[in-house]
Amino acid sequence: MLKRRLIFHRWGSVAGKPDFNPRDVATALAAAIAADGDFAIFDAGDAVTAVEVVSTGTGSEPTNLRLFALRGANNRPFKWDSAGSVSPISLRSHEYPADVSHVSLWPDGVCAHDYAKDVPRISRLSLYLRRKMNSHVKFDALYREDMLDKLLAMEGQMRSVEVAMTRRHPETSGQVFGTLIPEYFGRKAPSIRFTLGMGKYGPRDSYLDGETEEQVFALAEQADDFVTNMIIRGRNSTTGRVETINLLQERLQIEQEFSNSINVPSMPNPGEVFLALDQAYKTFQRDGKIASAVQGQKMRGKG
């Protein structure tokens, strides 16, 4: 059995660009791939991505895609044996080592995907569609309804923030590199882990300044794009207690286990994943959790 987190977002059109319609885009993409199989692949130089259309969807059913993170020729694993022999893994010219995420986009603007270590994030799909299909879509993380209340209760009284991030694609790193973190480090060290805080021995009534706190909110808004860990500590203005928020654990998500694919044991059964995504969507809708969820870009009055 393989564990996956099913993470929910909202998709939306980009201001100033044609409206995004998942079914239309998937139909056009499927036709392009049918005419030329290589069209499914997008090589951004630092990363190779492929998308497979599983189903284009209907007026009520989701558009289902498989999003692949591929390893190009210079980024492929090799094999080793106990005799100390190292050799390349044999692949044909059109074959790639890959990790996959299963993505569902519903007509009402909700989307979800499964996630685990090394699985591509949904922001990668946005870049792919923009560059391959000239289609613009934004994905906005959904958080549990009480998360914003917890964060706002710390406003003006944040003590520290621990962040780990990986700048996978320059186009998806927003404005945090260059403000909270110098742009130089974004280029030279695309994987960064740091702590900003008042220190263990600092005055108990000292907090992060307003500008830094604003950047913490901005980083939280973009967390799904490239933040791999974010823990915020601060004093709750209502209770007076120091509290901790693990931001990525506050997303609207569930964890499930799936059977291994018969053909690829390291991959979950695709049919099970898409079914689980749809069932989770219907459950969250029924329970009102999607309607009450907080969108990342609305944390500071955006969106």
The tens digit of pLDDT for each residue in 16-39 reads 899 999 999 999 999 999 999 999
Give the pLDDT confidence of 281-295 residue by residue, as tens digits: 999 999 999 988 877
Give the pLDDT confidence of 100-129 residue by residue, as tens digits: 999 999 999 999 999 888 788 888 898 899
Q: Give dist(CA 277, CA 280) in Å, integer.
A: 5
276: region left, alpha or beta (phi > 0 left; psi from -120 to 50 alpha): alpha
Q: Which residues contact 292 (CB under 8 A, 6 or more apart)?
A: 145
Per-residue pLDDT averaged across 155-161, rounded? 76
Identify the band that residue 185 occupies on the pLDDT scale cut at 50, 70 and 90.
very low
Per-residue pLDDT averaged across 150-170, rounded? 71
pTM > 0.75 = yes
Residue 13 phi/psi, 5° resolution?
A: -75, 160
- Strongest mean pLDDT among 61-70, 85-94, 292-301: 61-70
pLDDT at 120: 86
Q: What six digits make up the tokens of 271?
A: 């049919």
- Are 33 and 299 contacting, i.e. CB atoms less than 8 angstroms apart? no
Q: Give dist(CA 124, CA 103) in Å, integer.
A: 11
- Are 116 and 2 contacting, i.e. CB atoms less than 8 angstroms apart? yes
Rg (CA), the chain: 21
pLDDT at 184: 45
